[in-house]
Structure 1
Amino acid sequence: MSRRNETEKGVRKLWYRLWGGRPPGPVLLFLGLLVAFIMGVPLLYVVVRSFSAGADRWLNILDERIPGLLWNTLSLTIMVTVFAVILGVSLAWIVNRTDIPFKKGWQWLLALPLVIPPYIGAAVYIMIFGPVGWAFEWWQEGWLERAFGEYPIEIYSFAGVFFVLTLFTFPYVYLISMASLRKMNRNYEEVARSQGMSTSRIFWKVNLPFLRPAIGAGAILVSLYVLSDFGAIAILRYTTFAAAIYYQMGAFDNLSATVLSTVLIAITLVVLWLESKTRKKNAHYHQTSNAYTTPETLPLGKWKIPALMYVFTVFFFSVLVPIIVLVYWTIIGIGEGAIDREFWEYTWNSLRVAGYAAIACMLMAIPIIYLKSRYPSPLTTIIEKLSYAGYALPGVIVALGVIFIFNEHIPWLYNTHYLIAFAFVILFLPQAMQAGEASLSLVSPRMDEAARSLGHPPWKVMFKVILPSIRPGILAGGALVFVSAIKELPATLILRPPGFDTLAVRIWYETNEFFYQYAAPAALVIILISLIPLRFLLKKY
């Protein structure tokens, strides 16, 4: 009996040491573990199932498919990332540090491409440059074909995918670079100028080192997006890992899809590891808050007109062209009856599953962020990492994991629209967590201690005391999840039950069938809804 008591004391001592002497209550810990389990199991299941594919299937795919897919995926990722960084940093520098006309307006307008999903951008440029697009018809009907021969633009190509993805992902780098430029201290530049350095030399020797963490963060976001993108790539008929996984599933070869998914997960983990190493390497670049001076505005002089033309050109192709084209085709679609009962049904389906996901994410984020903030421990870190498991991975992989789990273990929910909402939760829960964490960081832990001193358990403190204080952040996170879910395509395309279409799915099908007048209204609705979180993003960055 004494040995048993000693064992119990040892376990209790170890448990308290794990939590720094303050373990969470059992209800709170259970909720956190439950969320981590829900988030992590489908993705782990995909990896485990891939090893049941057999050595022959692995060797066959590694010999025949992987080299080509690796080249397509990595070359596209590197090219888009490099040019998105060039665009994002240069534009942020021009509209933040120079005397370009309409400076404040440009700062806001250049963030707008972020509300246009790349697959909608791809659809727009197919409408212009595709086989039945405006440019193609104009070329054939005019003198150009007689003078220069066949139509030269092939939108269904590497160049087309590269152009579209760069155009609609550079705001990731732009927004983060803008935030860093605003915090940059003028004192460092003045010291460099006193040493005789020119403005260009100061940029390369002083400003760029300070921008490296921001550039790295933006580059990682762009890289992860390109690795996971399916919509724009598939619409433009290019093949990367994400598209290949979808095509394998369409051919009912789920085991081969798990093999490709495992390789893509490995690539994603390598990218995240590189990001972690880069962040640690650049950690010494910091700025002291003492004697902070706002950076001076640099006169453009003779470069004012070229800089203005450069900014306007990017805005024209990334915002004005898509809006003009979509409005044009929407007007034609309205005349042909595109806004009918079915259109509103697609809209309601989109709102419904996105609403389910937003509510679930808001509820599930609360115990995770509360555990992380108030009860840090190695176990809390594991729970948090599992909660982020689906965020950096393609929707096709998440959908594949959801199919395996529900088809084999929860068949009564299989082939229902609830699976789409479940996949959205795995994909977008971290967005709700990030917004909630920002609010919770402003709430003093003394409020918790006061409530605990009155005898309330941790879970009750979380819901009764903390939740009312962080409600704005939780609601902002829910809005971000809602908008992201409205735009999501691959998981919806794979998991939707027969006859259940959303706005994103209809854009996919109508664009592939060249019915642009039916795709455009749905695309405009998604863009208008996507404007909701823009104010939050601009305030954040």
Structure 2
Amino acid sequence: MTPRISRVRRPSAVPLALVLAVALVALMSLLPVLYILLRAREAGWEHSMTLVFRPRVYELLVNTLQMDVAVTLLCAVIGTITAWLIERTDLPGSKLWNAAVMLPFAVPSFIGSYSWVSILPGIEGLKGVILVMTLSNYPLVHLPVAAALRGMDPALEETSRSLGYSRKQTFFRVILPQLRPAILGGAILIALHMLAEFGALSFLNYETFTTAIFDQYNVVFDGASAAMLTLVLLSLCVMVIGLELLSRGRARYATQRQGAPGELERIRLGAGKPLALAGVACLVALAAGVPLGTITYWLLTGSSAAFDVAIVTRSLYTTLAFGMGGALLTVLLALPLVFLAVRYQGRLATLAERLPYFIHSLPGLVIGLTLVFFAIRYAYPLYQTVPLLLIGYAMLYLPLAQSSIRSVLVQVPSQLEEVAGSLGKRSLSVFARVTLPLIAPGVGAGLALVFLQVMKELTATLLLRPTGVDTLATRVWVHTASGEYAASAPYAALLILVSGLPVYLLTMRSFTRSKQKRGET
């Protein structure tokens, strides 16, 4: 048995407000591309070809692809397994494990990489990158897959079982195809994120296009050469997105509840329960325990661990304010993109939705320089202001919100909106009263992901923040870059602490709300 896959019917006309909102986001997403082309043009055609077709670029290409493929595949497997164990089995303490497996995402990757290097100096290179980055990024798959499992129609599995299919057959032929949008959404985010990763790779001494671009901008001061390397990086991004679109196909998973309301019976692990518990606990210990243990060590033994309470308080307030503001703006911009692509299918809708994914593969340095360039020339009052910084965050992390929202929206039948519209409700009212409550778990997941990433963002923040304003991440970076690891420990510990609480609250809220909806349907 395979799940029923239905094409979502196109409404007759796209609301003008939706078109304008998507056009604004698309224009914003094109700014970095325009900036890169302008800077690359300065190099000239012959010099540009020399910069692209050289042994150094081939070496960077091999390094980048090896890292990207390995980390993405491992994260997809680990994230799917953890989501399945927590959401669909009788694993003890599933609520707590659901928050625990997300905790590594609250640890900045550069802190995680330093932690591993400090205890295992020989971990540098490709193997070290695969280990550290997999432990840091698997939550990007876990969270959307868990949300999709909670919102899945119980009738699918019940019908499959009634037809005589085993649990294994039901999983691979019914459940896994329904999870494909969530898995692919998380995987493409990881693949693109790895293309843009910088801080962790610097600590692990692993060269990719991102580290080379940073060196060209900040060491050699060759903006044209850096722009050409960025164009190659964008080409890789195009390939990743193209593969994702081919894998996804044109099918839309819009399932309707046909069985009795309620939660699916959890699968009993039996003798495998201790092994499953040990596996999840080991994963959390490696991903979160090692960084926390290292930070604790520096707090207790470091001679430079003293800190100014006033500076820490200001940095904490700024971090929380930037995180919440960036998350809210990003989700607001992501909603029209996803809604247009899912409900009003077409090439232009798909292109508009994919544009932010191109930008997600760019280093934060490039986004920061783009906004500085255009702000100074065309909107100087925005230069070094909070609104410009929040726009930068939205440009960087739109795909995080898009992926989470899409994984839930594709499961909401369009017929519900059509019925509400036939009763005389306006499009915006239908969305607010019908669609939004149903996609709340995806919206919550998007808020959590973006909030955490904004709190950890470094390079764009350093360029775009108002003068004299610091976040916890920038304080960590400043001290770490100077070799003051104990001085950075209080800021790193506080950053992980405040990031862990929102993860717990948002994951528990989405779990509770989805459970309530199943009982009320």
TM-score normalised over the length of structure 1: 0.72
Match of 1:73 in 2: 64
Match of 1:4 in 2: none
Aligned mates of 1:483, 1:449 — CA distance in 2? 40
Aligned mates of 1:104, 1:50 — CA distance in 2? 50
SS where residue 307 of structure 2 aligns?
coil
Q: Answer with 518-527 or 477-486: which moved more.
A: 477-486
Task: State whether residues 32 and 366 of structure 2, in contact with CA within 8 Å, keep that contact through their aligned partners in structure 1.
Answer: no
Aligned mates of 1:108, 1:89 — CA distance in 2? 15
1:339-350 maps to which residues of 2 (within 5 A)? 339-350=308-319
- Residues 137-174 of structure 1 show CA distances to partners (whole Å, capped at 9, x for unaligned) of xxxxxxxxxxxxxxxx4133222221110112122333
1:182-193 maps to which residues of 2 (within 5 A)? 183=152, 185=157, 188=160
Residues 80 and 362 (structure 1), Cα distance of their counterparts in 2 relative to 1, 3 Å cut? closer
- Residues 54-113 of structure 1 show CA distances to partners (whole Å, capped at 9, x for unaligned) of 222432343032111111111011121232233334444444555555455434422322
User: Which residues of structure 1 form unaligned runs of 5+?
Assistant: 1-17, 130-152, 453-460
Q: How many residues align?
A: 484
Match of 1:56 in 2: 47
Match of 1:147 in 2: none
Give the aligned residue type for 1:24: L
**Cα displacement (A) at 1:436:** 8.2
Residues 400 and 328 (structure 1), Cα distance of their counterparts in 2 relative to 1, 3 Å cut? same
**Cα displacement (A) at 1:351:** 4.2
Residues 435 and 193 (structure 1), Cα distance of their counterparts in 2 relative to 1, 3 Å cut? closer
Match of 2:106 in 1: 115
Q: Give yes or no for the alignment of 1:46 onto 2:36.
A: yes
Q: Give yes or no for the alignment of 1:84 onto 2:75.
A: yes
Aligned mates of 1:188, 1:374 — CA distance in 2? 28
Larger radius of gyration: 1
Task: State whether residues 371 and 388 of structure 2, in contact with CA within 8 Å, keep that contact through their aligned partners in structure 1.
Answer: yes
1:304-343 maps to which residues of 2 (within 5 A)? 304-331=273-300, 336-343=305-312
Aligned mates of 1:419, 1:433 — CA distance in 2? 21
**Cα displacement (A) at 1:278:** 0.7
Aligned pair partner of 1:162 in 118, 130, 133: 130
Give the aligned residue type for 1:248: Q
Match of 1:124 in 2: 115
Aligned pair partner of 2:142 in 150, 170, 174: 174
Give the aligned residue type for 1:422: I
Task: State whether residues 186 and 296 of structure 1, in contact with CA within 8 Å, keep that contact through their aligned partners in structure 2.
Answer: no
Match of 1:297 in 2: 267
Task: State whether residues 96 and 178 of structure 1, in contact with CA within 8 Å, keep that contact through their aligned partners in structure 2.
Answer: yes
Give the aligned residue type for 2:203: I
Aligned-pair Cα RMSD in Å: 4.5
Task: State whether residues 233 and 361 of structure 2, in contact with CA within 8 Å, keep that contact through their aligned partners in structure 1.
Answer: no
1:364-379 maps to which residues of 2 (within 5 A)? none
Task: State whether residues 185 and 403 of structure 2, in contact with CA within 8 Å, keep that contact through their aligned partners in structure 1.
Answer: no
Task: State whether residues 43 and 398 of structure 1, in contact with CA within 8 Å, keep that contact through their aligned partners in structure 2.
Answer: no
Match of 1:254 in 2: 223
Q: Give yes or no for the alignment of 1:509 onto 2:501.
A: no
Aligned mates of 2:332, 2:280 — CA distance in 1? 42
Aligned mates of 2:61, 2:88 — CA distance in 1? 39
Give the aligned residue type for 1:37: L
**Cα displacement (A) at 1:215:** 4.0
Match of 2:502 in 1: 532
**Cα displacement (A) at 1:280:** 1.4
Q: Answer with 64-73 or 200-209: which moved more.
A: 200-209
- Residues 379-432 of structure 1 show CA distances to partners (whole Å, capped at 9, x for unaligned) of 666655556653454323322322432344445654666643331132234556
Task: State whether residues 112 and 136 of structure 2, in contact with CA within 8 Å, keep that contact through their aligned partners in structure 1.
Answer: yes
**Cα displacement (A) at 1:218:** 3.4
Task: State whether residues 391 and 428 of structure 1, in contact with CA within 8 Å, keep that contact through their aligned partners in structure 2.
Answer: yes
Q: Give yes or no for the alignment of 1:243 onto 2:211.
A: yes
Give the aligned residue type for 1:536: L
**Cα displacement (A) at 1:30:** 5.3
Aligned mates of 1:339, 1:316 — CA distance in 2? 31
Residues 192 and 516 (structure 1), Cα distance of their counterparts in 2 relative to 1, 3 Å cut? farther
Q: Give yes or no for the alignment of 1:24 onto 2:19.
A: no
Give the aligned residue type for 1:69: L
Identity %: 32
User: Which residues of structure 2 form unaligned runs of 5+?
Assistant: 1-9, 515-521
**Cα displacement (A) at 1:121:** 1.5
SS where residue 504 of structure 1 aligns?
helix
Give the aligned residue type for 2:195: L
Aligned mates of 2:342, 2:139 — CA distance in 1? 30
Aligned pair partner of 1:232 in 162, 180, 200: 200
Residues 337 and 47 (structure 1), Cα distance of their counterparts in 2 relative to 1, 3 Å cut? same
Give the aligned residue type for 1:396: L
Aligned mates of 1:82, 1:423 — CA distance in 2? 29
**Cα displacement (A) at 1:231:** 2.0
Q: Answer with 434-443 or 397-406: which moved more.
A: 434-443
Aligned mates of 2:241, 2:289 — CA distance in 1? 34
1:340-489 maps to which residues of 2 (within 5 A)? 340-354=309-323, 357-358=326-327, 360-361=329-330, 384-386=353-355, 390-410=359-379, 413-414=382-383, 419-429=388-398, 481-489=450-458
Aligned mates of 1:370, 1:288 — CA distance in 2? 18
Match of 1:271 in 2: 240
Aligned mates of 1:435, 1:229 — CA distance in 2? 21
Aligned mates of 2:335, 2:94 — CA distance in 1? 39
Residues 448 and 228 (structure 1), Cα distance of their counterparts in 2 relative to 1, 3 Å cut? farther
SS where residue 185 of structure 1 aligns?
helix
Task: State whether residues 355 and 482 of structure 1, in contact with CA within 8 Å, keep that contact through their aligned partners in structure 2.
Answer: yes
SS where residue 489 of structure 2 aligns?
helix
Residues 62 and 445 (structure 1), Cα distance of their counterparts in 2 relative to 1, 3 Å cut? farther
Aligned mates of 1:469, 1:205 — CA distance in 2? 30
TM-score normalised over the length of structure 2: 0.75
